[in-house]
């Protein structure tokens, strides 16, 4: 299937897995600029992306971008501060978007200073493999903002579905109570994570068990999402985070990854 033609010049603020995945997907559409907070982050991003995408540590280099996606840690204060900086650094006609998975879209749009040209673009990891993008907009979002956002998602080969501006949108609002219930089962019954995951894979047809999925998401990220959607975070998750066992990205979580 051919990709729709779009004329957006894409900027991405962040260098994590979501940011780098988006950069790789957007590269065939034209010049893409990725902003990194430090030279070390920039070097890691270049190694991770490896497709000729420009990486910079100067926000001013995003000034020529028409669609800029903020993709940093899921923290309202951190995202809000960066969005204010992006508002100052980019042209008035540019759309600012966030990859938030659980925060108030209207609140982020206020921080960005342009609620008519703001969108939440919740991309799932691994970015290249997951088809869905949850789209959410503040009430003031212009029709052109909605149309351009949908067109960009489709050009990236994604299926955009508009969801309410509610904590956790649809997927995380339904998913995390289930994931945390699996952790509580481990806590209360002493059953091993491998057994819980095997039961859900073999009995429910899930491609990945809940504990393995939490490790993939990142236990620190999972805790932040749980707090954002008002779901009680299990003590076992907090203990693992405190011990630095954040999941796959740190080499250990519910499982050890060597």
Please give the positions annotated as active site. Answer: 101, 122, 134, 172
The length of the chain, given as a count of residues: 258
In degrees, to the nearest 5, what angle opens at C-alpha 136 toward C-alphas 76 and 229? 50
DSSP-H helix ranges across the chain: 17-26, 39-49, 76-89, 105-112, 143-155, 171-189, 193-204, 210-217, 219-228, 235-242
Residues 5-10: contacts with CB under 8 Å, at least 24 apart: 5/155, 6/148, 6/151, 6/152, 6/155, 7/66, 8/66, 8/67, 8/148, 8/152, 9/33, 9/64, 9/65, 9/66, 9/67, 10/65, 10/66, 10/67, 10/68, 10/69, 10/152
In degrees, to the nearest 5, what angle opens at C-alpha 175 toward C-alphas 173 and 181? 110
């Amino acid at each position: 299937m051919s990709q729709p033609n779009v004329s957006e010049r894409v900027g991405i603020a962040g260098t994590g897995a979501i940011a780098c995945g988006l950069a790789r997907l957007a590269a065939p559409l034209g010049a893409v600029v990725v902003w990194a907070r430090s030279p070390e982050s920039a070097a890691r991003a270049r190694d991770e992306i490896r497709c000729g995408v420009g990486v910079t540590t100067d926000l001013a280099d995003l000034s020529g971008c028409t669609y800029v996606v903020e993709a940093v840690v899921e923290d309202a204060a951190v995202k809000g501060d960066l969005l204010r900086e992006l508002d100052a650094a980019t042209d008035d006609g540019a759309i600012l978007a966030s990859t938030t998975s659980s925060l108030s879209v209207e609140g982020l749009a206020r921080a960005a200073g342009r609620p008519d040209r703001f969108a939440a673009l919740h991309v799932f990891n691994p970015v290249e493999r997951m088809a869905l993008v949850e789209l959410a907009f503040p009430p003031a979002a212009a029709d052109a903002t909605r149309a351009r956002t949908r067109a960009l998602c489709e050009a990236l080969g994604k299926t955009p579905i508009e969801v309410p501006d509610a904590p956790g949108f649809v997927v995380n609002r339904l998913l995390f109570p289930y994931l945390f219930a699996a952790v509580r089962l481990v806590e209360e019954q002493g059953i091993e994570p491998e057994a819980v995951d095997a039961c859900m894979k073999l009995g429910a047809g899930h491609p990945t068990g809940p504990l393995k999925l939490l490790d993939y998401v990142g236990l620190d990220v999972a805790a932040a999402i749980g707090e954002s959607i008002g779901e009680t975070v299990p003590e076992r998750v907090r203990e693992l985070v405190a011990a630095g066992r954040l999941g796959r990205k740190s080499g250990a979580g519910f499982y050890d990854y060597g």
